[in-house]
Amino acid sequence: MAKLVLEKEMIYALIEAVRLSEEIKPSQDAKRRAFRKYGILGGKRDPLVTAIFYGIMKHLGVLDRMIEDIIGIEPLVLDPWLRAALRTVLEIMVFRDPSNKTVKLFDKPVAELLSTKTHPYTGMYYHRLFQSRLKSYKYNPTSREAVIEYKYFLPSWYVDKIREILGDEADQLFKSFDNPLPISIRVNTLKASVEEVMEILRKDGKNPVLSKIVPTVIKFQGPYNFEKSPLWRRGLVIIQEEASALASLILKPEPGMVVVDLAAAPGGKTEHMGELMKNKGRIYAFDINKLRMKRLKQIISRAGLTIVKTYLKDGREAPRILGEEIADRVLVDAPCSSDGTLMKNPDLRWRLRPEKVVELSRLQYELLEAGWRLLRKEGRLLYCTCSLLREENENIIERFLRKHSDARIIELKGPYSPGLLKGTMRAWPHRHGTIGFFYALLEKK
């Protein structure tokens, strides 16, 4: 097999992308910015350098263990540029097979970049480190946690949590995280038919496949430039995964209803509910993220919806703002650890933290309580997340049901797998070929 050959600009682009990814989310945006600066974006070198970048994101936790093994201190205390350079060089040295020419670029050229970006001493330190340790480094994990992380490229505590749920089947899930999903779009039925969109995709040389779960969702293999696509620009389609699109169908808002979406941005479900309501009624959409709310407004505008009123507010404030028992339907698509989307967001693996799950579960429960106060008698509330952890899903619903005698679960009998609590449902990436998702449909008695 041929050795990996890289150019200096490719290495510089990778280091800068890794550096920016600590500040810019999602990491794809950081990658695009750095690749554009070094003339990589959209060119012949883009696919190769992109693959290496996502390899770094996937291996990040293990790379940091290597850095600590080499220098004896926690990587997070290092200069950010030095940390990015070490992560990049170790990724290629350990997980790739670089040519001698490429290895030479890891020495003085990288040291020169660090001297320019930070301080000459940083470049000198890196140069000595490369000569003494990096050039011949071999990783040998010894602790149980390190061995597990090297095997699955996932935090060991997370592997243990999923094994508690799936047992030996967990290995299939972990493997599925390495398999990119096809592109998934949902047709805006206010503007186009499914067959019209399918025909346009066929003319573009795609082989679109209609979802068997959500009849307006179409899947096809990338790449696909949405920014240049008339389907996207004219609001004929929304980028949305099948499991996410199913949520609005389960909640089933109808024309003329009052609906509240408590964590609405970036707007895929808000837009979908507006379609199902045939642009009649009212949707109140809450979110605290300015950038994501801006995207929601763009999606709503492109889709041609006029029934959505947005609030740049915490969803927990909605009962104070709107009043209580005013909604026929409430969607609590709660902020979560998003581990069900790891095949789309490899850098999420190493942002998973047990303490963050505890923090999120507190927020999730409080949003659910706020949603319940908004709901009218005989109204319905859907609680959902793209997390696979019990702490963010069934545990929340069990706690809620113990407190609220006026709540009952509307049993979901498919199309995905039963949840760990009777009546709830889960989509599993390895079983269903979509992102991981949890659903619990509640009715106020």
Q: pTM for this one?
A: 0.92
List, for residues 345-394, the tens digit of each pLDDT value. Answer: 888 999 999 999 999 999 999 999 999 999 999 999 999 999 999 999 99
List, for residues 395-418, the tens digit of each pLDDT value. Answer: 999 999 999 999 999 999 999 999
Look at residue 227 in the predicted model and tell me its pLDDT. 82
In the predicted structure, residue 211 carries a pLDDT above the cut 90 = yes
Look at residue 333 in the predicted model and tell me its pLDDT. 98
Look at residue 272 in the predicted model and tell me its pLDDT. 98
Classify the C-alpha dihedral 108-114-120-125 as positive or negative. negative
Q: Can you state the angle between helices 46-71 and 27-37, rounded to 10 degrees?
A: 110
Q: How many helices (H) and strands (E) does the chain have?
A: 19, 13
Mean pLDDT for the stretch of residues 79-101: 97
Confidence of residue 222 (pLDDT cuts 50, 70, 90): confident
Residue 336 falls in the annotated catalytic set? no
Look at residue 128 in the predicted model and tell me its pLDDT. 97
Look at residue 296 in the predicted model and tell me its pLDDT. 97
In the predicted structure, residue 1 carries a pLDDT above the cut 80 = no
Determine the Cα–Cα distance for residues 2 and 334; give it in Å rounded to an integer.
47
Determine the Cα–Cα distance for residues 273 and 424; give it in Å rounded to an integer.
21
Phi, psi of 147, rounded to the nearest 5 degrees: -65, -45
Helix, strand, coil content of the chain in percent (nearest 5): 55, 15, 30
**Which residues, 6+ apart, have CB-to-CB distance to 336 below 8 Å?**
360, 364, 385, 386, 387, 392
DSSP state for residue 343 in the 8-state scheme? T
Domain annotation for the chain: domains and CATH numbers: 8-136 (1.10.940.10), 144-176 (no CATH), 183-239 (3.30.70.1170), 242-444 (3.40.50.150)
Query: Is the Cβ–Cβ distance between 357 and 392 less than 8 Å?
Result: yes
Determine the Cα–Cα distance for residues 59 and 177; give it in Å rounded to an integer.
13
Largest CA distance in the chain: 71
E strand spans, 306-348: 308-311, 327-333
Catalytic residue among 66, 264, 277, 386: 386
Look at residue 141 in the predicted model and tell me its pLDDT. 94
164-173, 227-236, 292-301, 303-312, range with the lowest pLDDT: 227-236
CA atoms within 13 Å, Cβ hemisphere of 379: 22
Place of tokens 């949707």: 283
Determine the Cα–Cα distance for residues 151 and 203; give it in Å rounded to an integer.
43
> What CA–CA distances, in Å, run from 202 to 209, 216, 274, 302, 362?
10, 16, 28, 23, 46
Determine the Cα–Cα distance for residues 295 and 181; give it in Å rounded to an integer.
23
Confidence of residue 25 (pLDDT cuts 50, 70, 90): confident
Look at residue 46 in the predicted model and tell me its pLDDT. 94
Q: To which H or E segment does residue 379 belong?
A: strand 375-385
Strands 217-220 and 209-210: antiparallel
List, for residues 242-296, the tens digit of each pLDDT value. Answer: 999 999 999 999 999 999 999 999 999 999 999 999 999 999 999 999 999 999 9
